[in-house]
Amino acid sequence: MEQRTVRPDHEAIAGRVGQGARVLDVGCGDGALLDLLKSTRGVDARGLELSSETAGIALARGLSVIQGDADSDLELFPDDSFDVAILSQAVQQMRRPARVLGELARIAPEVIVSFRNYGLWSRRLTLIRQGRMPAPGLAHEEGVLLPVTALDMIELASRLGLACVAMAPVRGSAVGEFRNKGLGRLNWGADEVILHLKRI
């Protein structure tokens, strides 16, 4: 059987999820995180994935994944139908990220979001030197439609009734410790960020 490498950010996210929790992973891709959550946390795992091809890979792994668009299909899920909703490296691909995050806050009392942080000092420097975002706009090869900072995301979450209870920096393959303070340092120094949010 093929041995799969577990991404460090996936391990960090899994560590924030309670044993046996009902989990919805939005933008779940090939199901790697869902698979990890099932095997290590015994969760009742469900996934939503835009790409039918990628959703098919997750289904082939024996995971419960449906093909759908988070920008329009989350309203189909009842209030509090999950304990935790996860949006791992997907929020910046959403056309309506505030609406998606608001829907997740309705669906689950806890939301875990990870994303690329455009507050990173080197990206700020690129903007100052070149007068452009450190990515070719809407045509970015990795699909980033929304270049946001950690501060932007926490402020948006707060407006939607979500409090940040823990945050962790990601730099390459290293994930820092989760903390409930130090946003300024995190916003300045983290390449990617994981936020654990809870409904207020």
- Residue 164 near residue 200, CB atoms below 8 Å: no
User: Which residue ranges make up each domain of the chain?
Assistant: 8-119+147-199
What is d(CA 121, CA 22) in angstroms, rounded to the nearest whole number?
A: 37
pLDDT in tens, 147-176: 889 999 999 999 999 999 999 999 988 999
| Closest to 178 in 3D by CA, of 16, 7, 36, 2 | 16
With 90 as the cut, is the pLDDT of residue 95 above it?
A: no
With 50 as the cut, is the pLDDT of residue 140 above it?
A: no
The CATH number given to 8-119+147-199 is 3.40.50.150
- Residue 133 near residue 148, CB atoms below 8 Å: no
Lowest-pLDDT range of 35-49, 132-146, 180-194? 132-146
What is d(CA 111, CA 80) in angstroms, rounded to the nearest whole number?
A: 12
* Per-residue pLDDT band at 5 (split at 50, 70, 90): confident
What is d(CA 154, CA 133) in angstroms, rounded to the nearest whole number?
A: 21
